[in-house]
Amino acid sequence: MPRSCAVCVHQEREKIDQALVDGESYRVISQRFAVSHHAVGRHARQHLPATLAAAEEAHEVTRADDLLSQIDDLRRLARVILASAMGAGELRTALAGIRELVRIVELMAKLRGELDERAVINVVLTPQWVQVRATLLQALTPYPEARTAAAVALLEVDDDGRS
């Protein structure tokens, strides 16, 4: 069974990690916390990066949640303004409110990863694809079974855009 990391099980692990992040030497840390400088070095190399990555990820999640919360507040406010404008018969203002709500909803969808704006290229419709398909089928003319199998496979690609 592998040994436990002396720093990971140390009562003052958080302070040791902070000292490592602050750039203190292994020797100084080992003396202050009564742990070997080899254990401090091993911990810094093997365990600290994962701890820092998890902390950064948690920080990013918190920031993202805060941003989504702010956008949601704006969405609620825009709805109130829209309702007020509609109630007052101010149609131009109401339409501007609708446009703003659409923009806010779009932004929320982007931030949540619900809106994919990547370009979609249908290679089946390109002139190059048509030429490749014709050339392949022409080359397979002396081999009728292979030509038929290739034609069936190519039709499937043409029908649903994937092989």
Return averaged pLDDT per consecutive 10 residues of the chain, 163 residues in all: 81 88 88 92 82 70 74 84 88 86 81 72 74 88 88 75 48
Closest CA to 108 of 82, 70, 77: 70
**Per-residue model confidence (pLDDT) at position 163:** 44
* 116 belongs to a structural domain: no
**Per-residue model confidence (pLDDT) at position 11:** 93
Place of tokens 């920031």: 63
d(CA 109, CA 115): 5
**Per-residue model confidence (pLDDT) at position 73:** 83
**Per-residue model confidence (pLDDT) at position 160:** 57
**Per-residue model confidence (pLDDT) at position 124:** 65
Give the structural domain span for 23. Answer: 13-46
Assess whether 54 and 107 both reside in one domain: yes
Distance of CA 67 to the CA centre of its chain: 16
**Per-residue model confidence (pLDDT) at position 104:** 81
Assess whether 35 and 75 both reside in one domain: no
* 59 belongs to a structural domain: yes
- Number of helices and strands (H, E) in the chain? 7, 0
